[in-house]
């Protein structure tokens, strides 16, 4: 239920709706003029959080030493290991396998399935439950150029432009050319894609796309794909061993610098295990739970950039870790769902962002960074946002217009999760708009890979959000689901091929010892350890009373 | 009032008038804590000082990690919810159910046939359903769980697939079922069979796959990849955005 003062603004939204509906029917660019290159640059420079003075700082150690990266990321990169690398016994592995996959989300499951198909045995190390990942939370869809009026080349152009031309071209080509095959493969796995009466895949628009290319499964697209992948992984218990609640905390190398497994941490017994593997794949996802610049996030509880930290210590180079994606439409009201994702599909179906006067102020489907920067401008410089009782601010996302454009019942059928989410808190989005503001959503950069999902470390592969290069400095909607599927598959296949000839030498944590020395040399104090594993939401009042001075057993 | 004093302590009972109006008492596994009245159950756990390991996942209602059972004072009724989606009620007694030892059968989806018998063959216990509807009452997604189990007994794969589609596999249905059915695993099997074997497939996708395999886009892709940044930018900003979005 909206309070009366917000209802007053909603009446203005309703008043402008008939006119806006006419514009929408006349064509997308009639709704509001898309920005030129110069206009995009200006609004990003002035209003995107990446451009604020304290957003980035120089990293003093490791492969990217001297570069300016997102400050919160640098905090983790410049932190210490959770273990003492000199004390760890590397002579007796607790587990041995062909391929260790770190991260049991979409990318990890995809890699596992393709690895076993190519003859390898796999262990998946997972921080929480199998499938607990951002993959599960994607609502809107997956991009693939499947329509006759579309093509992988047009898809390529949209991605490169959306990424500000910084994307690695070979990665983009690999993504777009493989996309339709992934659609088919997932269908054969059992994914129930939305289809029209002829059985062709339903396609919707997304920010920065020049064609309708977004495939969906209602607004549970990620969940539908993830639960299919998870079910299939569980159908192979003899080939895939899943170690849940066992996140990785360090990579292990051999004496030639090849990836050779990892140290896992049992979250319940607090033991550390050694997994020896002939190849290692990192599919740990992103970093939303770092709450960069204090933003709320759409991300999963476990999205703490663990894989980034592990790979960095082992010597892998990061790419575009100076760039953060804020999803334009995070929920702002009610307070309980602040920061939650409102899928871009709402705008893909014709939903329009409007200010407190009910006025349009931006092309509804700009790439995410541009759209988000426009929202921030509307709420700050122009003061046209709507304030919530708890002090947040946002603009309206007019959803009722969707049914008027597409026919009664569209919202219920296409956005059941959104309807349910708001209904739980007394708001009917078929009749009332949603209040939205940018929310921390995606790690644009990551560990640099090539089109074979290889890193600079032999035997170390990365796929999905943890990788960097594909999306440049701004990912477009629907390309992350596609990313983890395409590159998860490629990583699985290539790792399975690689292990056939590789010989793993003596295991070592020398890279961790060296990294610790580097930290000491630049005088970084020993007060932070990483990877973070889980965010800390315990309030100060409780912390003041957590006065245990020493740790014995598992009771802190 | 400072946060720490408004939290209440674990050892001293607070008089009602000492507690600010916006705080409410909740009993987490029997222990009382005062938490903000507008908290979700997950927010309340963390406010009370819990570092959740099991029992939190996506935190937005999509993953089913935070299934919670609770009861309010004086009521015999057990209620259900997702901790991330349910606002606390004063004096609620709650416990999370982060794991349930449910049966999941191993099968080869390639070898299954979407017949009317397949669901009963793999999960014969569905036929033990006594139609008590407890599963439906337990579902935090408000799905017609019993109806889809009944459809499964009849072998109506399509109906099971559609009725169970919004399932987040939290496990509350299975935890409550007197017939020991694992509803959500029946649901995923039916959906996979439907998506793989029964959904009508259109012509566009196979046509596109053939085009890619025959190399139709290779030249065009090579050309666009060879463009200078300046030319690529020009082409990008000149591309047509007036496609129909509906």
DSSP states of B122-170: H-GGGGG-----HHHHH-TT---HHHHHHHHHHT-HHHHHHHTTT----
CATH code at position B163: 1.10.1060.10
Q: A272-291 in b/e burial notation, b at 16+ Cβ within 10 A?
A: bbbbbbbbbbbbbbbbbbbb
Residues B154 and B228 in one domain: no
Residues of A annotated as part of the active site: 327, 347
Residue B216 in domain = yes
Q: Residue B246's pLDDT is what?
A: 61
Cα A511–Cα A128–Cα B33 angle in degrees, nearest 5: 120
d(CA B31, CA B28): 5
The ipTM estimated for the assembled molecules is 0.95
Domain range enclosing B210: 204-237
Tell whether A547 is covered by a domain. Answer: no
Q: Is B63–A223 a contact, with Cβ atoms under 8 angstroms apart?
A: yes
Among the listed residues A440, A495, A498, A509, the one whose alpha carbon sits nearest the alpha carbon of residue A108 = A495
- Judgement on whether residues A354 and A335 belong to the same structural domain of the protein: yes
Q: Is residue A299 part of a domain?
A: yes
The answer to whether the Cβ–Cβ distance between A212 and B203 falls below 8 Å is: no
CB-based contact A199 B165, cutoff 8 Å:
no
* Mean pLDDT of chain B, nearest integer: 91
Q: CATH code at B25?
A: 3.10.20.30
Contact A144, A179 (CB under 8 A): yes
Range of the domain at A259: 95-323+444-508
Q: B13: buried, middle or exposed (CB in 10 Å: 19+, 13-18, 0-12)?
A: exposed
Let me know whether B125 and B178 are in one domain: yes
One domain, residues A294 and A268? yes
Which of A153, A532, A547 has the most B C-beta neighbours within 10 Å, making it the best mutation to test the interface with B?
A: A153
| Model pLDDT, residue B245 | 65
Residue A118 near residue A497 (C-beta atoms within 8 A): yes
CA distance B144 to chain A (A): 15
Is A424 in contact with B220 (Cβ distance < 8 A)? no
> Is B10 within 8 Å of chain A by CB?
no
B129 and B51 together in one domain: no
Q: Does B158 touch chain A (CB under 8 A)?
A: no
Task: Say yes or no for a CB contact (<8 Å) between A156 and B242.
Answer: no
CB contact under 8 A, A184 and B209: yes
Does residue B104 fall inside a structural domain? no
Residue A65 lies in a domain: no
Nearest CA in chain A to B57: A301
> How many CB pairs below 8 Å do chains A and B form together?
245
Same structural domain for residues A192 and A314?
A: yes
Chain A residues with CB inside 8 Å of B244's CB?
27-28, 212
Q: Are A290 and A390 members of one domain?
A: no
User: Closest to B212 (Cβ–Cβ): which among A152, A245, A336?
Assistant: A152
Domain with residue A229: its CATH number is 3.50.50.60
B225 contact residues in A (CB cutoff 8 A):
156, 169, 173
**What pLDDT sits at residue B6?**
39
A35 & A134 share domain: no
* pLDDT at residue B7, as a whole number: 42
Report the CATH number that the domain containing residue A433 is assigned in CATH. Answer: 3.90.700.10
Do A230 and A248 sit in the same domain of this protein? Answer: yes
Q: Express each pLDDT in A451-492 by its tens digit.
A: 999 999 999 999 999 999 999 999 999 999 999 999 999 999
Residue A131 has pLDDT above 90, yes or no: yes
Judge if A383 and A456 occupy the same domain.
no
- Within an 8 Å CB–CB cutoff, is residue B225 touching chain A? yes
Percent of chain A with pLDDT over 70: 99
Q: What is the per-residue pLDDT for B12?
A: 46
- CA dihedral A297→A303→A308→A311, nearest 10 degrees, is 180
A96 C-beta neighbours (distance < 10 Å), count: 15
Give me the DSSP letters along A55-87.
SEEE--SSTTTT-EEEHHHHHHHTSBPSS-TTT
Mutate which of B63, B104, B118 to test chain A, going by most A C-beta atoms within 10 A? B63
pLDDT in tens, A298-338: 999 999 999 999 999 999 999 999 999 999 999 999 999 99
Which of A217, A303, A343, A424 to probe the B interface (max B CBs under 10 A)?
A424
- Contact at CB, B4 and A177, closer than 8 angstroms: no
Confirm whether A169 is domain-assigned. Answer: yes
Number of structural domains, chain B?
3
Stretch 68-127 of chain B: residues touching chain A, C-beta under 8 Å: 85, 87, 104, 106-109
Number of domains in chain A: 2
Mean pLDDT, chain A, integer: 96
A76 is a domain residue? no
Residue B31 resides in a domain: yes
pLDDT tens-digit series, residues B2-32: 333 334 444 444 444 444 568 999 999 999 9
A287, A163: one domain: yes
Cβ–Cβ under 8 Å, residues B152 and B120: yes
- B54 vs A128: CB contact, 8 Å cut-off? yes
């Amino acid at each position: 239920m909206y309070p009366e003062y917000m209802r007053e603004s909603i009446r203005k939204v309703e008043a402008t709706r008939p006119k806006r509906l006419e514009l929408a029917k006349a064509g997308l660019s009639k709704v509001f003029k898309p920005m030129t290159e110069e206009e995009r640059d200006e609004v990003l420079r002035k209003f995107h959080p990446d451009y604020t003075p304290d957003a980035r700082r120089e990293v003093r150690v490791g492969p990217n030493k001297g570069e300016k990266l997102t400050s919160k990321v640098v905090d983790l990169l410049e932190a210490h290991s959770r273990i003492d690398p000199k004390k760890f016994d590397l002579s007796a592995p607790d587990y041995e396998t062909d391929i260790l996959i770190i991260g049991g989300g979409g990318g990890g499951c995809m890699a596992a399935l393709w690895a076993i198909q190519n003859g390898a045995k796999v262990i998946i190390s997972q921080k929480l439950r199998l499938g607990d990942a951002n993959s599960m939370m994607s609502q809107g869809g997956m991009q693939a150029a499947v329509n006759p009026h579309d093509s992988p080349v047009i898809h390529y152009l949209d991605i490169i432009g959306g990424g500000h031309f910084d994307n690695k071209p070979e990665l983009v080509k690999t993504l777009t050319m493989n996309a339709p095959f992934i659609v088919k493969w997932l269908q054969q796995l059992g994914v129930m894609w939305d289809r029209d009466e002829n059985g062709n895949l339903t396609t919707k628009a997304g920010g920065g796309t020049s064609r309708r290319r977004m495939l969906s499964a209602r607004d549970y697209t990620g969940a539908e794909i993830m639960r299919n992948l998870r079910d299939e992984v569980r159908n192979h218990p003899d080939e895939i061993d899943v170690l849940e609640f066992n996140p990785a905390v360090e990579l292990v190398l051999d004496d030639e610098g090849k990836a050779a497994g990892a140290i896992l941490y049992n979250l319940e017994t607090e033991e550390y295990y050694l997994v020896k593997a002939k190849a290692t794949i990192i599919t740990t996802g992103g970093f939303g739970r770092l709450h960069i610049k204090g933003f709320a996030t759409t991300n999963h509880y476990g999205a703490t950039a663990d894989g980034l930290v592990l790979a960095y210590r082992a010597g892998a180079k990061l790419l575009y870790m100076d760039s953060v994606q804020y999803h334009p439409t995070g929920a702002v009201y009610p307070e309980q769902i602040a920061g939650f994702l409102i899928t871009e599909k709402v705008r893909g179906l014709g939903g329009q962002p409007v200010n407190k006067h009910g006025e349009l102020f931006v092309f509804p489907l700009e790439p995410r960074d541009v759209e988000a920067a426009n929202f921030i401008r509307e709420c700050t410089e122009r003061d046209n946002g709507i304030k919530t009782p708890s002090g947040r601010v946002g603009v309206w996302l007019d959803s009722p217009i969707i049914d008027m454009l597409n026919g009664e019942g569209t919202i219920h059928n296409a956005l059941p999760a959104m309807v349910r989410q708001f209904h739980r808190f007394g708001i009917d989005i078929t009749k009332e708009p949603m209040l939205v503001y940018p929310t921390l959503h995606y790690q644009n950069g990551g560990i640099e890979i090539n089109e074979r999902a290889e890193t600079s470390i032999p035997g170390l592969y990365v796929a999905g959000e943890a990788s960097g290069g594909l999306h440049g400095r701004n990912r477009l909607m629907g390309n992350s689901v596609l990313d983890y599927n395409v590159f998860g598959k490629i990583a699985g296949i290539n790792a399975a091929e690689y292990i056939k000839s590789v010989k793993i030498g003596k295991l070592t944590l020398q890279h961790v010892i060296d990294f610790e020395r580097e930290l000491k040399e630049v005088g970084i104090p020993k007060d932070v350890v990483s990877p973070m594993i889980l965010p800390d939401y315990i309030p100060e009042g409780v912390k003041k009373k957590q006065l245990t001075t020493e740790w014995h057993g598992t009771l802190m | 009032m400072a946060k720490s004093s408004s939290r209440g302590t674990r050892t001293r009972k607070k008089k009602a008038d000492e507690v600010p109006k916006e705080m409410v008492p909740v009993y987490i596994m029997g222990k009382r804590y005062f938490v903000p009245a507008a908290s979700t159950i997950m927010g309340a756990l963390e406010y009370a000082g819990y570092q959740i390991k099991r029992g939190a996942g996506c935190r937005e209602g999509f993953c089913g990690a935070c299934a919670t059972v609770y009861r309010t004072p004086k009521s015999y009724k057990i209620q259900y919810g997702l901790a991330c989606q349910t606002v606390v009620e004063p004096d609620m007694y709650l416990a999370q159910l982060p794991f349930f030892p449910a049966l999941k059968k191993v099968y080869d989806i390639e070898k299954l046939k979407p017949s009317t018998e397949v669901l009963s063959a793999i999960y014969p216990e569905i036929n033990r359903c006594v139609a008590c509807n407890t599963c439906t009452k337990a579902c935090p997604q408000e799905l017609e769980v019993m109806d889809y189990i009944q459809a499964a007994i009849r072998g109506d794969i399509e109906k099971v697939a559609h009725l169970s589609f919004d399932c987040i596999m939290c496990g509350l249905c299975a935890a409550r079922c007197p017939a020991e059915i694992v509803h959500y695993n029946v649901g995923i099997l039916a959906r996979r069979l439907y998506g793989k074997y029964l959904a009508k497939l259109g012509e566009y996708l196979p046509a596109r796959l053939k085009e890619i395999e025959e190399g139709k886009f290779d030249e065009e892709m090579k050309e666009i990849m060879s463009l200078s940044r300046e030319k690529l930018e020009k082409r990008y900003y000149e591309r047509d955005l007036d496609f129909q979005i509906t």
